[in-house]
Structure formats: structure tokens, C-alpha cells
Chain A
């Protein structure tokens, strides 16, 4: 099973070191020229920044909104709660394609330009259901009486949330942040529609490129992403520890 899922990645990694001008496996000769080529392509570099920016915006904002929404819906009953809950979860039921297409129409009709902000907004919408899910799971593990206990001891509503509930939600918040980042960074379907020439995420750039070209540039780009992810994982493991990050230790 492991070999099955890892092997395509390995293949791409190996192909990226080819000296030739076509994607071939296994490569006849090795070189790092395609990595050098990538550094020369401004549009790709720009897309890396766009993807990072959008992913950061999406993860931070959706986690923040998700936190507020989860706590409100978990703790209180109010008029229209069921409908609001459905609205928040709705993006999950939409294929990215439909979401992207309808957003594109919406923006066009209202003369809103496609730029990095609308792109971020799209990603936020996509990520919020995940944020709410993760944080709600954390909430279920918290005894609702502890906030009452904190209040009885002199903490007002804000302090009891900040000092007591919030620290206990850290696993959910962290999971929300990390997964939202990944989801946003990898998002293709909706991003294809909402991207524009000056705001195009990396996956969309890659997709557009392979539509027209057959050279191994994209294998180099993909490999760089894989290296980046691997380094991030190692850093997390060495500093905080993966288990602890998600509250499992």
C-alpha cells in the first residue's frame, strides 16, 4: 500500500533530474538543469508567492472564522442555528469546479476584478467547513462546566474563554490551520476559474503549462514542493512533535 502511493512521487523526483528535454523514465542522463530553469521562470516564482500568500490567508482567516462559528454553534442555541450551520458546511458539498465557475460568474456580473483577494476569498470559503469540523471536535472534548467554574472563580466571559477554553482548543485550531493550508495550497478546481494573469496559484500555473508543454520543468517544480513539504514535516517533528501538535500525546 505504502509503495503504491509513494511510487508516483518517486518517479517524479527521479524524472526531475533528467538531462534531456522530454519527460522520460528512467532518464538517460542526469542533470539539475531543470531546477535552474525553474529559477529563471518569473511566472513560476511569482505563483509560488501567490500560493503561499493565499494559503496563509485562507488558513488564518478560516481558522479564525471557524473558531468563532464553532464555539457559537456548539455552546448556544439561537434562531436560525440549523440554517447557519448548513450554510457554513455547504462548500463541502460543492465540487470545486462548480464553486469556481459560479464565483467567476458572480464576480463578472458584479464587475469585481479577479485578483489575489478574490482568490483568497475563494479559498477561505473552501476551508471554513474543515476549520469548523476540526475545532468542533476539540470542543466536544472540553467539559462545558469548566467555563462556569472559571467564571465562579472570578474570570469574566472573555477571560474564561481565553485562559481556559482556548488553550484546550489548541489541537483543533492547529489541525485546522495545517489542513487548511494544505488544502488551499493544493487547490486546483476552483482556482482555475478564479485565477487571473496576475494572481495565479502554483497548481494552476503547472496545469496551464503542461497543457501546452511537454518538458520536465513541472517535475522540477513538483519535486521542489515535495522537498518543501518534507522539510516542513521534519521541522515540526523536531520542534513540537507531530503527535503533540495534534494533541495526541
Chain B
């Protein structure tokens, strides 16, 4: 059963179309990450979901009912802002109780609910403190508690971890995910950090320039990026121009800029002579001393080796083409003393764009 839907939603400011006809269907209990670079329209989309911005066109449905004419204070949507937006003049208890007081719950019920949610975020001893007395991580948990206590239909998180330092971010992303799963609330998580999105979300929605480029699980998006933007935005990729030199059933032979040829799988029927782009993940490539037979195996020269602990990052030149290769440190010892190697990848690896 679909819980939350965006249908042909667009937002235009004068001549500038910031959000361009996006469609999204979110199932009950899902955690969706809205991921994209700055300016892609994800925050504008969030503001429209929350009711702070009017839609230029399209509709937003919550459990089948249109939210278009519903003002923000009646939408029953919990929000955690990037700056947390805690009320500085109220202590932790009153901050969290605010939503309950607006709903006119009695004192006993308020006390019970606030304590329950303080339990969930593990801040029981901090009721009487004021926001300025709390650390960033604690403030974030208060913001989360405040949004959850009203038992909203939907939870919106607007880059909630951006203001935290790196270690805390990693820890908090899993804590938020745990809480979300336990409470079972449908959640939309806006971020520009792909590692965060991939670690935490059931599905990712990749946005750029006001459009949705792809919706899928982390694996789907990483292994089968739909389009150049997604391939470049998620993870690392070697992307280079190729010319189709021969067409086979479900496969092609392509001419690389270096003059070498390689085989690739393709669902799409290409025409010989077409110029297009090919994307190859660094970890799909391995390096050997001699040519390998049933893979694409091209001669190259090692230009740079970076030992990164668990991985080695290698830069190999094949003619005018430079490929980044990532292999584990356990693989054979490579050194700049013997730079002439072969670069190999399976025929099934990589994505050919059309």
C-alpha cells in the first residue's frame, strides 16, 4: 500500500524551473534518500512536501489524500532541520512537549510520551537542559525526539547530519536508521552525501537539475547507473568516449581512444560507427603481468600507486586513456619499477550509454 506520493510535481520561481515534473511513490515504512548535488532541487522538494512552499503544478498525496490545500501545521509531518531549529528559550522537555501541547494533550500523557521518546533517543537525564548546553549530537537527538513524539505520518530529515563531525555522522546515521526501523515510520532523508544515502536508505532517489535521474536500491544504482550523471555521481567510475566498431547479438566491440578494442555487453542495439560513452568501475579492473585470455586485456603503463591500507589505488595509462584501478592490498605486489602491465576486465563489466 502506497503511503506517500508525488505526482508530476513542479516548482517554478519566475523563469527558473527548480523542480521539474517529478514523480515518486513511497511505501509505508520505507526510508528513502533524496540524493543529489547542491541546487538539484531536493530541498525545494522537501519544502513542498512539508507545506512551506506551494507547488507550481502537480500534487502530493498522503494516504491517498491530497495535501495541496493543507497548511503545514495540519499535515502531521515531523521535520528535522539541518540546523535542528531547537527552541532556544525552552528546555529539552518543553522543546519535545511543544507538539503535544499544541495538540492539547493533558499533562500526564505529555509526561509519559516525552519520557518514552527520550528513552528512544537515549537522552533521559537531559530533560531540564537548554539547547545551548548540549553538544551537536545531543541537539540532533532532541530534534529527532521532538519530531517523533507527535507520532507523525511521515518524517522528513533535511540534511540532519551535515553539521556533525565525521565520526559522529557515521555513528548517528545508523542510530537514526535503527530508530526509524523500530518506530516503523515512513521517512524521507535529504542529503548530498552518497555514502550516507547508500548506507541508510531502502531506496535512493538521485536528483539533478530538478529532475529525478534514477530511483533504486543502492546496489541497483551502483551497478546499473541509468545515465551519465548517476554513473559519475555515485562512487568512482572511469568514463571515456568509445566508437562502436562491430555489433554482435547482445554485445559490441568498441574502439577505445587509445586505439585498442574491447568487448562490452549491451541490451541496446547499436549501429556501427556510433560514438558514445563507456563507464567502468575501478574495482572491476585487475592488473596482471601478462595478457589474459577470456577477458578484455589491454597493455598499459603504471603511472601512480597509492597504498590506502585496505585498498591500493592505481593509475594506469593506456595510450592517451588513463584508468583508475582499485584492488585489495592482498593482490600481487605491484611497483613502479615494473610499470608495463596488462589491465583486465570482464566482458560483462561496465555500462555502455546510449
Q: Which A residues form the contact surface with B (CB < 8 A)?
A: 143, 145-146, 148-157, 159-160, 163-164, 167-168
- Besides A150-B87, A154-B74, 7 other A-B contacts (C-beta < 8 A): A143-B85, A151-B73, A152-B50, A152-B77, A154-B103, A154-B150, A155-B98
Q: Which residue in chain A gives the minimum CB-CB distance to B103?
A: A154
The count of residues in chain B whose C-beta lies closer than 8 Å to any C-beta of chain A is 26
Knowing A143-B83, A145-B81, A145-B83 are in contact, say whether A152-B89 is a contact too (CB < 8 A): no
Total CB contacts across the A-B interface at under 8 A? 64
Q: What are 13 of the A-B contact pairs (CB < 8 Å)?
A: A143-B83, A145-B83, A145-B85, A146-B87, A148-B85, A149-B79, A149-B87, A152-B73, A152-B75, A153-B73, A153-B150, A154-B102, A160-B73
B184 at the interface (CB under 8 A from A): no
The answer to whether A149 touches B73, judged by C-beta atoms less than 8 angstroms apart, is: no
Q: In the complex, which residues of chain A have a beta carbon less than 8 angstroms from the beta carbon of B88?
A: 146, 168
Asked if B81 and A151 make an inter-chain contact with CB atoms under 8 angstroms apart, the answer reads no
B61-116, CB < 8 A from A: 71-79, 81, 83, 85-89, 98-99, 102-103
Docked pose: A153 CA to B81 CA in angstroms: 13
Whether B73 and A156, one on each chain, are in contact in the complex, defined by CB atoms closer than 8 angstroms, is yes
With a CB–CB cut-off of 8 A, which chain B residues contact A143?
Answer: 83, 85
**Which 6 interchain pairs have the tightest Cβ spacing?**
A154-B102, A153-B99, A145-B85, A149-B85, A151-B72, A152-B79
Q: How far is the CB of B142 from chain A (nearest CB, A)?
A: 11
Minimum C-beta distance from B140 to chain A (A)? 13
Cα–Cα distance between A168 and B89 once the two chains are bound (Å) = 7
B42 at the interface (CB under 8 A from A): no
Name the A residues within 8 Å of B86 (CB-CB): 146, 149
Q: Nearest chain A CB to B157's CB is how many angstroms away?
A: 12
Given the complex, which residues of B lie within 8 Å of A148, measured CB to CB? 50, 52, 72, 79, 81, 85
List the B residue with the shortest CB-CB distance to A150: B98
Q: Which of A145, A153, A157, A167 contacts B102 (CB 8 A)?
A: A153
CA of A167 to CA of B350, assembled, Å: 59
Question: Given A148-B79, A151-B73, is A159 in contact with B85 using a C-beta cutoff of 8 Å?
Answer: no
Cα A67 to Cα B72 with chains together (Å):
24
CA distance A153 to B74 in the complex (A): 9
B147 touches A152 (CB 8 A): yes
B98 touches A153 (CB 8 A): yes
